[in-house]
């Protein structure tokens, strides 16, 4: 009897087909799992840079400036007690602050950039400020005060990010 026929007789049987299918299925799952793990890791880390955090902060600053400008125009049109800012607008501002804070937090978690831990903390305070201003009990003057404070804080955060980026550039050089 040849070796091949021995091996054939040793391994091939009716059950072998079923077993092979099961093994194939598990190896497929393992392969898919590893593929998706790598994909998820790549997707969560993609675009996670200091520049991205700065972009989010600049967007927040732009929205704050636009809101304050719009409120300024509203005051010019009507005298007397100021109405609150449009709630949808406030929610958008808060969302922008939270998005910037989330990006900064991810930079701290994924890239271990501890400088951005303080920046994430400051952005969290800005989001808290905007959330309070969004509350139903805040009147127009309080809201405007909160928006101006948020704008000042955002400018300060952008300066800190610029400083961190400049420091990182010097270190690389």
Partner 1 sequence: MEGFLNDLKQFFRSFLSGGGLNLVKAAAILVLGLLAIRLLTFAVRKRAVKSRRLDNAASAFVTSMVSLVAYVALALALIGALGFSTAGIVAAFSSVMLAIALGMQDALSSLTNGILLIFTKPFRAGDYVDIGGTSGTVREIKLFSVKVTTTDNLTVIIPNSTVLGSVITNYSRMSLRRLEIVLPVSYGEDVDEVKEAVGKVVRSDARIAPLPAYFFRLTEYGSDSLNFTLRVWTEPGDFWAVKFDLLEGILRAFRERGISIPYRQFDVHLASAPSGKREKEA
Of positions 21, 34, 75, 168, contacts partner 1 by CB under 8 A: 34
Whose tokens are 């520049």? That residue is: 51
> Which stretch in 51-59, 127-135, 152-160, 163-171 sits in contact with partner 1 by CB under 8 A?
127-135
Of positions 14, 15, 170, 172, contacts partner 1 by CB under 8 A: 15
Q: Looking at beta carbons only, is 98 or 113 nearer to partner 1?
A: 98
Q: Which of 107, 75, 106, 93 is nearest to 153 (CA)?
A: 93
- Residue 86 makes contact with partner 1 by CB under 8 A: no
- Residue 149 makes contact with partner 1 by CB under 8 A: no
Q: How far apart are CA 31 and CA 80, in angstroms?
A: 68
Main-chain phi, psi angles of 47, to 5 degrees: 65, 20
Q: Which of 87, 161, 150 is nearest to 124 (CA)?
A: 150
Q: From the CB of 112, what's the least distance to partner 1, in Å? A: 15
- Residue 52 makes contact with partner 1 by CB under 8 A: no
Q: How far apart are CA 54 and CA 91, in angstroms?
A: 21
Sorted by sequence, the CB contacts under 8 Å of residue 27 that are 6+ apart come out as none
Of positions 48, 58, 115, 131, contacts partner 1 by CB under 8 A: 131
Nearest 5 degrees, angle CA 163-CA 147-CA 113? 30
- Residue 8 makes contact with partner 1 by CB under 8 A: no
Q: From the CB of 7, what's the least distance to partner 1, in Å? A: 8
Q: From the CB of 68, what's the least distance to partner 1, in Å? A: 20
Count of chain residues binding partner 1 (CB under 8 A): 33
Residue 58, Cβ neighbours under 10 Å: how many?
14
Q: How far apart are CA 169 and CA 7, in angstroms?
A: 64
Q: Where does this chain bind partner 1 (CB under 8 A)? A: 6, 9-11, 13, 15, 19, 22-23, 26-27, 29-30, 33-34, 36-37, 40-41, 44, 98, 101-102, 105, 109, 120-121, 124, 127-128, 131, 139, 142
């Amino acid at each position: 009897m040849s070796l091949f026929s021995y091996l054939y007789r040793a391994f091939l049987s009716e059950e072998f087909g079923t077993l092979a299918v099961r093994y194939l299925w598990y190896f497929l799952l393992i392969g898919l799992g590893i593929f998706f793990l790598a994909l998820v890791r790549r997707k969560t880390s993609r675009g996670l840079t200091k520049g991205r955090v700065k972009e989010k902060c600049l967007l927040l600053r732009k929205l704050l400036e636009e809101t304050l400008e719009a409120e300024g125009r509203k005051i010019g049109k009507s005298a007397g007690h100021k109405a609150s800012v449009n709630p949808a607008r406030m929610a958008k501002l808060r969302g922008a602050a939270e998005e910037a804070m989330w990006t900064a937090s991810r930079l701290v978690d994924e890239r271990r950039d501890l400088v951005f831990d303080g920046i994430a903390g400051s952005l969290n305070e800005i989001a808290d400020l905007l959330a309070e201003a969004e509350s139903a009990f805040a009147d127009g003057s309080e809201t405007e005060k909160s928006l101006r404070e948020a704008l000042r804080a955002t400018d300060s955060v952008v300066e800190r990010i610029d400083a961190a980026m400049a420091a990182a550039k010097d270190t690389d050089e």
